[in-house]
Structure 1
């Protein structure tokens, strides 16, 4: 049940990557009792160092939680942590809440809500957006749908993790539909930013000057402004990896096929991310999609400072 001292819900966060660790830490700093779980022992230890508790399995986390956030990568991981060996279902108390924050197909979110209801559990379809920095500061955007009771139970968690909560509907699937619109735009904007930078560099323009001019012009976008600095620094440490957009844009493509709705621009961006993954950049930051142009046209990209010094 909830914390006997404060009456606040006990919260579990499964997936302590960049977004999950930031979210779990923001929840912890808001005064909530938070347990983290990740397959990486290093991630669990890092969360403990921040003052949180950790569990080695989703089942162990669920046994000490009222609300469980899933901040994992894909639908397969959602399935595994909920219904697999040592999964959440079976250990979370009846009436407990699953906040499903991963990007999955809307059809999967709808089926998941039905399955969890059959187990006596609530679900909030609650994809998140904003990046690692906003996760850490508790200023994410949450695109949520679910029953009124699910929103009521989630209120303390949403207050601590989000700057904006969009209540989009009363059943799971609507939140995931909105997140898919966001991911279509985000993926296309990153791929287009990379193409624009590659064109400018190929024409002999200074990369820093391109960034300065475009961020003060009509061609700017949030993704251009956020991702191009990674290119300028030659730093492809993954905050959001190429593999994520291979997955998410493929969900866009498959959902378009289900609806008989063509998505040609998103499909083009998907091919660029797939090319980057095929070239070995899948685990690098998604800005590494520009390296496809480096391979194809021979442009010279900025190097990381330490690489340049060691050259």
Structure 2
């Protein structure tokens, strides 16, 4: 993206091979062995996760805590060791995860990576049994998930389109919001699994791709909220009101949002990395939103402006989190939004 290095959530750009061993290994080093054929009448207990980044690791933590057997793969060897410490099974590739899982979450960052781990060499479809389920929690756009669902269907594997919201904190707390679409019977089969990772589980439609549409609409609004709140804070501080006063008043008003509560304290404390909201992901999501808007012939003027704001942010601060946007304004105005200023 514009010559800058991307930081992926979960699936890294390092070479494969960080996971040692034949297939999957638990924290105790025991081989998982082969699983029997799936029985649709039984509770799903064997869960896989591809992508153990900010979101995937939180999901894994909550699934293992609720008694599920979790197998995972990530290109980052440290993430695999963290999974093993949770009691999960570290696997050498996506195919190894698929071989021991009834449900697999794909929590990578984009359509290209989702395609590789599902349909590519050593991908999930090489080993997943008929009747098993792939839950695409990555935000990849409606067309991409429909194509993956069609390819999986040829192997009698179901795809549930299920983007998530809540960020790293929501994943760690088991408090995500899910927007799932696909066959209702498959959604119902995953009820206990979804309950382990989410506070709000929404079935948004019977057609794969509708979950991605809901997420695209939501992310357009998210981009606009970020843009507006950073502009408001910048104006107030420039005009002579402290950042703390602005935060206190807006934070108890009709304009308050969880995004405001999360981002503005980080801005005031000058924390722009490691807060679980990397600008690369939000920019990618806004690109998906505006592509859908163009396809539908729907004007989104405010969202379009927000995307340009994020473009400026990702150009100047490609490895930072969403709140780095305020530094774009600070460079123009000549002041900083911080405590005690």
What TM-score does the superposition give when structure 1 sets the normalisation length?
0.92
The residue correspondences of 1:87-98 to structure 2 (distance < 5 A) are 87-98=123-134
Equivalent position SS for 1:89: helix
**CA deviation profile, 1:231-254 (whole Å, cap 9, x unmatched):** 011111231111111101011111
- Residue 278 of structure 2 is aligned to residue 241 of structure 1: yes
Equivalent position SS for 2:255: coil
Indicate the RMSD between aligned Cα atoms, in angstroms.
1.9
**CA deviation profile, 1:45-81 (whole Å, cap 9, x unmatched):** 1121222111121111111111110111111111111
- Residue 260 of structure 1, CA deviation: 1.2
**CA deviation profile, 1:248-293 (whole Å, cap 9, x unmatched):** 10111111111111111111111111101111x1221111111111
**CA deviation profile, 1:31-50 (whole Å, cap 9, x unmatched):** 00001211111111112122
- Residue 119 of structure 1, CA deviation: 2.0
- Residue 305 of structure 2 is aligned to residue 268 of structure 1: yes
Asked if the contact 2:181–2:210 (Cα under 8 Å) also holds between the matched residues in 1, the reply is yes
Unaligned 5+ segments in structure 1 are 306-311
The residue correspondences of 1:1-311 to structure 2 (distance < 5 A) are 1=35, 8-238=44-274, 239-279=276-316, 281-302=317-338
Asked if the contact 2:44–2:193 (Cα under 8 Å) also holds between the matched residues in 1, the reply is no
- Residue 144 of structure 1, CA deviation: 0.6
Unaligned 5+ segments in structure 2 are 1-34
Paired with 2:83 and 2:232, the residues of 1 have a C-alpha distance of: 39
- Residue 7 of structure 1, CA deviation: 5.2
Paired with 1:98 and 1:7, the residues of 2 have a C-alpha distance of: 16
Equivalent position SS for 2:121: coil
Asked if the contact 1:187–1:266 (Cα under 8 Å) also holds between the matched residues in 2, the reply is yes
More helix by share: 1
**CA deviation profile, 1:1-42 (whole Å, cap 9, x unmatched):** 4799x9543100111111111011111101000012111111
**CA deviation profile, 1:196-243 (whole Å, cap 9, x unmatched):** 111122222211111001111222222112211110111112311111
What TM-score does the superposition give when structure 2 sets the normalisation length?
0.84
Asked if the contact 1:243–1:282 (Cα under 8 Å) also holds between the matched residues in 2, the reply is yes
Paired with 2:87 and 2:45, the residues of 1 have a C-alpha distance of: 17
Distance change >3 Å, CA 278–CA 15, structure 1 → 2 = same
